[in-house]
Structure 1
Amino acid sequence: MKLLLDTSDVHAIKRIAKMFPIWGITTNPAIVAAGGVQLFDLLPAIRDALGGEGTLFAQVISSSVEGMIEDAHKLNERVENLVVKVPVTPKGLQVIKELTKQGIPTLATSVYGAAQGLLGVLAGAKYVSPYVSRIDAQGGDGAQTVSELQCLLSTHAPDKELVAASFKSPRQALECMLIGCKGITLPVNIFDLFISDPAVAVAVDQFVENWGKAFHTDCL
């Protein structure tokens, strides 16, 4: 499974990269704006934080077809191995189709329905990201949407990849993993929650305490 971080926090990327092989980093305009660092300065810093490896995903800003294509070219030229995120809208589908002709890889984003996501990949996107928690917030079933989209991809576009996104809890991400989702992108706080159960710290401290009492040392 491919695990990505959804963040613009370079320090967090470095911290997590020391303990886990991050496959890639995704950003969006809201995440970049919250971090306060211009995207063109941020992308090389993220690349450095990953040791020059991994796949970066960055989103177009413009609302016009021509503007999104121009954004895509600028992003593609900024760092190597970058995938351009394009919302699946009528204009976005035009952009995905054109960028695919030009050999620029894309991710179909802002996906709230399985059929919408399928259109994004059939237009040419290599990746597609359904918004799990946002679908739930609108009264839908995010995990079910992921399952339906994954089924559609298996039938109609087996060479494309689903990367589930927008999680508010570890349980939401776990449900997508159990479905068989091959890729998920997690906010830093959700990644940390997977390994921050207080019971784990208590168990480790108890092991150390018992060892110390028996052998009067805290190491082998």
Structure 2
Amino acid sequence: MELYLDTADIEAVQYFRDVFPLAGVTTNPSIVAASGQNLHTLLSQLREQLGKSPLLFAQVLARTAASMVTEARYLRSIDENLVVKIPVTAEGLTAMKRLVKEEIPVLGTAVYSSAQGLLAAMAGAQYIAPYVNRLDTLSGNGTETVAELHQLLQLHAPQTKILAASFKNSRQVMDCLMSGAQAVTVSPDVARQLITSPATDAALDQFEADWSKAYQSLHL
């Protein structure tokens, strides 16, 4: 399983790289815009925090295939270990096929159906990113879409991985992993939900209280 952090927050990356077996960081145009930083500078800073091996994802902004390819090349010039996120549209699929021929790794993003995901995989995408919570919000079922996409990929494009995205809570994350997603990307807030439980804190408080009562100390 690959766990990614969906953020442009350098401090969050610094924190969670020490907590999780972090596979890398994903970004999108909205995340980059919210950071207020220059794209080149931001991606360079994220790479510095991640080290050489973890993957870094950035997305094109263009809407036509030719411009997507141009922007993808630019993104790869910033970071040689970057995976380019391409929206799964007709133009996006055309761009993916061209980029794959250039050996530029691609993630098919903004996926709202298993059909979109399968088509992106057939175009050569290394990863597919279904938007789980956004599907739920639109009266769909994000987890069921992930499960259906997993089955389709196993049958027709086993080389492509599902990198599920757009989560509101940690339960959605676990449901998607149970449904076949090989990777997930989560915001810092959802990442904290994965490792935080009031019951755990209560148990630790009780251990400390019992130990202190017996030994008048909080040290072993």
**TM-score, normalization by structure 1:** 0.97
Alignment of 1:70-85 (within 5 A): 70-85=70-85
Residues of 2 paired with 1:107 and 1:180: CA distance? 17
Residues of 1 paired with 2:65 and 2:155: CA distance? 30
Alignment of 1:19-30 (within 5 A): 19-30=19-30
Partner of 2:158: 158
Q: Does 1:8 align with 2:11?
A: no
Give the superposition deviation at 1:37. Answer: 1.2
Identity among equivalent positions (%) equals: 45
Residues of 2 paired with 1:141 and 1:18: CA distance? 33
Partner of 1:174: 174
Partner of 2:106: 106
Q: Does 1:143 align with 2:146?
A: no
Q: Does 1:37 align with 2:37?
A: yes
Residues of 2 paired with 1:51 and 1:96: CA distance? 27
Instruction: Work out the number of aligned pairs and report it.
Output: 220
Alignment of 1:85-104 (within 5 A): 85-104=85-104
Give the superposition deviation at 1:216. Answer: 2.3
Over residues 61-81 of structure 1, what are the superposed CA-to-partner deviations in whole Å (9 max), with x where a residue is unaligned?
Answer: 112222111110011111131
Residues of 2 paired with 1:81 and 1:5: CA distance? 16
Partner of 2:202: 202
The letter of the residue matching 1:211 is W
Over residues 147-186 of structure 1, what are the superposed CA-to-partner deviations in whole Å (9 max), with x where a residue is unaligned?
Answer: 0000000000111111111101111111112223211111
Which ranges of 4 or more aligned residues in structure 1 deviate by more than 6 Å? Answer: none
CA RMSD of superposed structures (Å) = 1.1
Partner of 1:126: 126
Task: State whether residues 127 and 160 of structure 1, in contact with CA within 8 Å, keep that contact through their aligned partners in structure 2.
Answer: yes
The runs of 5 or more residues in structure 2 that have no matched partner are none
Over residues 93-125 of structure 1, what are the superposed CA-to-partner deviations in whole Å (9 max), with x where a residue is unaligned?
Answer: 010000001110000001000011100010111
Task: State whether residues 59 and 84 of structure 1, in contact with CA within 8 Å, keep that contact through their aligned partners in structure 2.
Answer: yes
The runs of 5 or more residues in structure 1 that have no matched partner are none
Residues of 1 paired with 2:106 and 2:164: CA distance? 15
